[in-house]
Structure 1
Amino acid sequence: MKGISYSRYGGPDVLAYGEVDDPRVGPDSVLVKVRAAAVNPVDWKCREGHLDQLIEPVFPVVPGWDVCGVVVQPGLAVTEFLVGDEVIGYVRQDVLAHGTFAEYVAAPVRTLARKPRNLTWEEAAGLPLAGLTAYQVLTKTLQVRRDETILVHAAAGGVGSLAVQLARHAGARVIGTASPGNHDFVRGLGGEPVAYGDGLAERVRGLAPEGVTAVFDTVGGDALKVSANLLAPEGRLVSIADPDVVDYGGRYHFTRPDPDDLLRLSELAEQGVVSVRVARTLPLDRAAEAHRLSEEGGTPGKIVVTVDWETVMPT
């Protein structure tokens, strides 16, 4: 089958399009025919070796954790899905090996849920990792409640935009950092946008003079110091980008696959509570460009690669 792979750590240039090994379908997995797979910052961080001490690579690595596609073969022990079921998945395993940037992926059932019926393949592919991250941080780590004020960094990004929508659904007030060109987008999600850069603390204080109840950091670095100083007494701070958050009294979050959480996200999408903005789509053979765009940053919404099955020849 065709796919994207890399045989050593490096920049986008190490990604090669061509033949990759067919995935093996274990008893608790299903074979998914990939229609779309989203790019996440963790993909290029893995490719560059930043997670080497956390997740072992088995070269050549097929990258990608997000997927949307169709079940074509259930494993021997699988009762949750049937052939023809449309699914989404955050297909993270304990090694880097057979990811979602290929024509097929073998996905453990613990990583999957049914696809939201109202989303396109591309939109649905952008939901799993970003959606699970936003949902788990807000409901389990920050435990955001009605009438609280939460600051979301990078509120126009993949995770941030979903966090804004989910926090507003929970009844919270949301202040979101974003570049000026994305302020209207953040407002449309229900957030109150503020610009990045010098003077951020003063701008946030202008909207929340007594401080914010919670901070959802997706940026790291200087944003953590600013965020810690903006917290109201007993405020909570979580980062998905910088483990140094613990030095500021906060918590670091690494998202885990959870089929119940993913199903809840699918339901919320069907109810119109959350939507996914797809900023750019590229064919599978241009995945290196998709990685490059993600690494450059500043893209509102998700970058998605697609498999055009009308042009795929049988293997």
Structure 2
Amino acid sequence: MFSADDSVEINGQKVQATRSVTIGKSLGAILVLLIGYAASTALLRALRRLATGRLGVSEASANIWWRWSYVFVIALLVIFALNLVKIPLTVFAFLGGALAIGIGFGTQNLLKNLISGVMLLVERPLKVGDFVQVGGISGTVSSIGLRSSVVRAGDGIETLIPNSTFVESAVTNWTYSNRRIRRKIAIGVAYGSPPREVCNLLLAEAERHGVVLKEPPPRVLFSNFGADALEFELEYWLDIGEADSVLVASDLRHMIDGALAKAGIELPFPQRDVHLQQDEPLQIEVRRGPSGRAADSF
């Protein structure tokens, strides 16, 4: 098919040798690749089953390592097959020059994401199951792939995010060191309501909820004298891996509404007091119209 010159140094002297690539060698390399591919795939799958079944490794983590091991094994197989059939790597030197530069530019982003994926696996700033926020997207990391990772939002929408984004951008990992997060609910009650009683009532409802964590304990803050209400904030902690924060907030609002109604504490509505100031008393006259009916005049 084609040949290439390969130099070998023997006893301090360079010996020039010519190696040719024949159809037989090429078929032999393909055969080695196919056999190696089948054997390595079966071995990696067996190791993955062993890791998940006996070693207690999660399915998601096992899949991540399986993908990266698969790429590494395929690369080794290619090099091994070429050396086994005596095809030197120098025969591919003709692919250099302009073609290599073009491929380099075309695969720049791909290589950047691949390297970023390796950094994510080594440094582990995030892992499968973490709740992250990046670029305006919030959700749970469902998989970390070779080029991109998948973040699943609370509404079920899955977004593929390039791995380089997690390395180059600011990422908020809500579960980096632990899975506890703090949430809060704003409540307003009518003026004239006893603030201390409101605080105790809100705190009791939070402690009564079965999903709200006991430690750190919930707390209630008298946050402000609002335009229409006395404003309070109920702060509580959840285990994000076991609780749906949106559902818990809805449950607490139902519980608080019932408790306030039972205690006779009103929830306010927007209202305004209008004060009319006059330098002189307002004069009101009642006149009789042409039809004989009285007409008001101001």
Query: Same-fold call, TM > 0.5?
Result: no
Scaled by the length of structure 2, the TM-score of the pair is: 0.22
Q: Greater helix percent: which structure?
A: 2
TM-score normalised to structure 1 length: 0.21
Bigger CA radius of gyration: 2
Structure scoring higher RCO (CA < 8 A, sep ≥ 6) equals: 1
